[in-house]
Amino acid sequence: MLEEAAWFIVWVVILYGVHYQFKICIPTTLFVLKLLESFFLLFLVKLFVFYQIHGDGMDFKQATWELYNYTKVQLNTFEL
């Protein structure tokens, strides 16, 4: 009887944890994803304006190469 009560308490704790996860973590995750999407869209608009208005047109090959080099440098400097 004591073991069943302990398993019931463990189940209630897990149930509360899952409830907390769905109540708090999912809205937080959605907020972060919305934030990342807005930053990405802003980056694309700024890239377009930079190359179309301030530059000589859009050169996707050069932009891809610069993004690759920037990512490579950032990954090399990243330390755990």
Which two tokens mark 29? 């995750």
If one counts the domains in the chain, the total is 1
Q: Specify the residue for token string 């069943």.
A: 4
pTM, two decimals, is: 0.48
Task: State phi, psi for 47 to the nearest 5 degrees.
Answer: -65, -45
**pLDDT, one tens digit for every residue, the chain (80 residues):** 888 899 999 999 998 888 887 878 888 888 888 999 999 999 988 888 887 777 776 677 877 888 898 888 888 887 76
Structural domain of residue 57, as residue ranges? 2-77
The CB-side HSE value for 19 (13 A sphere, CA atoms) comes to: 6
